[in-house]
Amino acid sequence: MSERFPSTDVSGVVALASDHGGFALKTVLKDFLIASGRQVLDLGTDGEASVDYPDYAHLMADALKTGKASCGILVCGTGIGISIAANRHPHVRAALVHDAFGARLARQHNDANVLALGGRTTGDEVAKDCARIFLETPFEGGRHQRRIDKLAV
Ligand code: RB5
C-alpha cells in the first residue's frame, strides 16, 4: 500500500520541469506564473540541448515528496513520456491535458498534483489557460476521494 498524501495545495510553490521538447513552453509558463504572482521552482532543463524526460519527471516527484513544491507542471514534446514517468511515483497524479476542460476536471475529479503539457502539441495561450485553471480549481472530494484511494496498489 502506498503512502497516503493529503489533497493537493495548488496555492503553494509550483515546480516546473521539462525536457528539451518542452523547454520553450516551460519558459513561457514560468514567465506567466511569475507575472501572476506565483512562486515557482524551476527544476530544468535549462536549454534546447537533448536530455531524457524521465530525469525531469523524477526531479518533480522528489520536489513534491520533500515539500519543496506543492504541485507542478511538466512539459515534454507531447507530454506523454514525462507524464508516464512521473506517474511511476505513487504520490504523483500527473494529468496530461490539452484544453481548459481537462485542466478543470483533472483538479475537480482527480486531484491531480501535476499538470502535464506537450510543448509541440499545445499552443502557448491554451497552455497558459490550462495552467491558470489547474492552479485555481479545488478538488471536489467525496466520491472522487474514494476513487483516488483506490489508485493505491
Ligand atoms: C523528445 O524528442 C520527445 O520524445 C519527448 O519530448 C516527448 O515527446 C516524449 O514523450
CATH number, domain with residue 113: 3.40.1400.10
In a domain, 36, yes or no: yes
Using H for helix, E for strand and C for coil, what is the string for 98-140?
CCHHHHHHHHHCCCCCEEEEECCCCCHHHHHHHHHHHHHCCCC
Alpha-carbon span 94 to 127, nearest angstrom:
15
Alpha-carbon span 4 to 1, nearest angstrom:
9
In a domain, 68, yes or no: yes
94: β partners: 114
Strand order in the sheet with 94-96: 40-42, 14-18, 71-76, 114-118, 94-96
Determine if the pTM surpasses 0.85: yes
Among protein residues, the one whose CA lies closest to atom 8 of ligand 1: 77
Among protein residues, the one whose CA lies closest to atom 5 of ligand 1: 77
In a domain, 3, yes or no: no
- Is any ligand 1 atom within 6 A of the Cβ of residue 18? no
CA of 1 to the centre of ligand 1 (A): 31
Report how many domains make up the chain.
1
| Atom of ligand 1 minimally distant from the CA of 118 | 8
In a domain, 22, yes or no: yes
In a domain, 6, yes or no: no
Dump pLDDT digits (tens) for 11-47: 999 999 999 999 999 999 999 999 999 999 999 999 9
In a domain, 7, yes or no: no
- Is any ligand 1 atom within 6 A of the Cβ of residue 117? no
Dump pLDDT digits (tens) for 66-81: 999 999 999 999 999 9
Alpha-carbon span 51 to 21, nearest angstrom:
9
Show the domain range for 73.
14-152
Which residues are known to be catalytic? 76, 109
